[in-house]
Amino acid sequence: MERKTLLTDCPDAQGLIAKITNICYKHQLNIIHNNEYVDHSTGQFFMRTELEGIFNDETFLMDIDQALPAGSHRSLVDSKRRKRIVILVTKESHCLGDILMKAYDGSLDVEISAVVGNHETLAALTTKFDIPFHFVSHEGMEREEHENKVIEIVDAYTPDYVVLAKFMRVLTPSFVAHYHRQIINIHHSFLPAFIGARPYHQAYHRGVKIIGATAHFVTNDLDEGPIIEQNIRHVDHTFSAEDMVKAGRDVEKTVLSTALSQVLEDKVFVYGNKTVIL
């Protein structure tokens, strides 16, 4: 028995659920999980259908295509294929460490193809888990030159996603465009509060009582991409900026790995500057 997931993202129309589920029924595909959502403000329809059975992808998708209105996107994803990621890091280990541990014990069903760092700090940790670490220093290099070196390494692994696990470099539009909707970042604040550098220090000076973290797809505008997951924890006046940095680590790593898990399970639709998670 194969298991595949049909992802549909199209203009809303009457009878869409009936049409799609009819086709599944006709092809003798059993629906294991099904979720739909209609954004009535824009008239967009989203559907995620986990199917089990014997698939003839070509005829099945031909039927689906005939049923969908113009301007539709659909894909049929093999639910059992393990996806590949490359992780970009700088010096901080907590997010990388959490993903390494979760891939190691199977909590996260993913293949970590490689880790790329602009510092060498995390090489030792990465190689403990028998994963290749590539050190690409940015010292004395133009931003584009450095990114091109990174791209060359990353592309050799043909990853499904690139995960920025506390990669403290601003990316150029051409790097972002090269991995369209493939880059997931963890920002160490509750966006859109404290955009930009040193958000915990900003938070400390503002005297907030809550700190947070945001995992999002990366687009050209810094810290402005579609949000996948956010969470927070309470702090109080006894927290220095450094205490906030430390306290934020557990939130950051949990938010990033939760977001990553949803993306890897094909639950996240990107829609304008938002996500629909089914």
CA 239 – CA 248 distance, rounded (Å): 11
CB of 251 to a copy of itself, least distance (A): 9
CA 26 – CA 229 distance, rounded (Å): 37
Question: Strand 110-117 relative to strand 133-135: parallel, antiparallel, unpaired?
Answer: parallel
Stretch that binds a copy of itself, among 18-26, 77-85, 139-147, 167-175 (CB under 8 A): 18-26
Which pair of tokens denotes residue 273? 């500057």
- 223, 236, 243, 266: the catalytic one is 223
Rg of the chain (C-alpha set): 21
Of 5, 93, 126, 185, the one binding a copy of itself (CB under 8 A) is: 93
CB of 96 to a copy of itself, least distance (A): 9
Q: Helices 199-206 and 241-264 sit at what angle, rounded to 10 degrees?
A: 130
Residue among 259, 269, 232, 275 at smallest CA distance from 98: 259
Which residue lies nearer to a copy of itself by CB, 149 or 267? 267
Beta strands in the chain (DSSP E): 2-11, 30-39, 44-53, 73-78, 83-89, 110-117, 133-135, 161-164, 183-187, 210-217, 227-234, 268-271, 274-277
Is residue 222 a contact residue for a copy of itself (CB under 8 A)? no
CA 154 – CA 183 distance, rounded (Å): 12
What is the footprint of a copy of itself within residues 147-206 (CB under 8 A)? 190-194, 205-206
Is residue 128 a contact residue for a copy of itself (CB under 8 A)? yes
Is residue 31 a contact residue for a copy of itself (CB under 8 A)? yes
Which residue lies nearer to a copy of itself by CB, 173 or 192? 192
Of 37, 74, 153, 267, the one binding a copy of itself (CB under 8 A) is: 37
Is residue 207 a contact residue for a copy of itself (CB under 8 A)? yes
Is residue 277 a contact residue for a copy of itself (CB under 8 A)? yes
Of 9, 63, 147, 229, the one binding a copy of itself (CB under 8 A) is: 229
Which pair of tokens denotes residue 93? 């280990």
Which residue lies nearer to a copy of itself by CB, 157 or 217? 217
Under 8 Å between Cβ of 42 and 71? no
Active site residue 223: yes
Which pair of tokens denotes residue 209? 């009582």
Catalytic site positions? 223
- Site residues, a copy of itself (CB under 8 A): 14-15, 17-18, 21-22, 24-25, 30-41, 92-94, 97-98, 101, 104-105, 107, 125, 128-129, 190-194, 205-210, 212, 226-232, 236-238, 240, 246, 249-250, 254, 257-258, 272-277
